[in-house]
Amino acid sequence: MRPVLRAPRSPRRAASAALAALLATAAVGCAPQPEEDTSGSASASASGASCAKDELSTEAAGKLTIATDSPAYEPWFKNDDPKNGEGFESAVAYSVAKELGFDKADVVWQSVPFNKAFAPGEKTFDFDINQVSVSDERKKAVDFSSGYYDVRQAVIALKDSEAAKATGIADLKKLHLGAQVGTTSLNYIDDVVKPTQDAAAYSKNDQAKSALKNGQIDAIVVDLPTAFYITAAEVTDATIVGQFENQGGTPEQFGLVLDKGSALTSCVTAAVDALREDGTLAKIEQEWLSDAVDAPVLK
C-alpha cells in the first residue's frame, strides 16, 4: 500500500485525498487499524511504495525541490552556493536526488529559514537539508529521513579568554553562552550545561559569531564540523574548548526534513539508507568533513 499523500495542493490531489479518506473510513469497521507510524523513516520496501521517478509525488513534475537556509554555511556548502554540488550537504542532496532518479539539472533549490523548515504547516519543498537534528519533538510537525550524519555539539571561545580554559561542564555553568535559536546547540546549553545566566539566542550563526568576537558572550555552541570551520577560517583567534558527549547513548543525527505524512518519506529514507550501505555517505564525509577531527570531551 502506498503511503498516504500529504495535504492536497490541487483539485486533483484533493479528490485523491478525499477518496483515500473515504476508503480508510470504510475499513475501520472491518478490521483493527494499525497505529500510525510517526517515525518518518519507514523503508520503501516495507511500505510497498514505488520509488520510480515518474511515480513520485513531487512539488513540481519531473523536478526535485530541495531547501536549505541562506546563507549556506561551510563546510556543509561551498561559497554559499547549494547548486554547485560542493560541501557535505550539497553533495549528499545531489546523491539522494540521483538515487531517486533525478539528474542535477532536475534539482531546484529553495531558500527556507532554519526554523521554518521543521515548523508546523505545509511545506513548499520536497525535502530540506540544513543540519536539522532528528528529535521526537520535531517529528510531531514533520517527517524525517533516516540520519545521514552523526554529529556532536562543541563549544568555541576566544583563545585568550577564561572560557577557553574550561575542561568540563561545571566550568561552563558560570559563562554567558550563545547559540542559534531553535537548534540542538541551544538545547545543550539549556539542558546539559544549565548555566547560571540565560543563554543568548541568535537567529543566525553569523550573529552568534559576531557576539563572540565583540565580547558580548563568552562562548558559542555549534556542531563540531562547523566549529572546526569557524576556528580555522572565520574566527581564527577562537579555539574549540571541547565537545559534548551524546546524551542518552543515542547519537544525534541530521536527517532530511519532509512534509508531515509526505508520500516521499519512505523513498527518500530508502535513498539515504542505500547511500550509507554502499559507502557513498562515508566518501562524501571524508571529502568534505575530514578536517573535523576529535576535540576534548566535556564531562
Chain centre to alpha carbon of residue 60: 23
Position 246 scores a pLDDT of 81
Q: What is the pLDDT of residues 240-291, one digit of tens each?
A: 999 998 877 678 999 999 999 999 999 999 999 999 999 999 999 999 998 7
Q: How is residue 77 written as a grid cell?
A: 556548502
The stretch 122-144 carries a mean pLDDT of 97
* 61-88 per-position pLDDT tens digit: 999 999 999 999 999 999 999 999 999 9
- pLDDT (mean) for 157-166: 97
pTM tops 0.75, yes or no: yes
Query: What pLDDT is attached to residue 97?
Result: 98
Closest CA to 76 of 223, 268, 184: 223
The H or E element containing residue 177 is strand 177-180
| 165 φ/ψ angles, rounded to the nearest 5 degrees | -90, -5
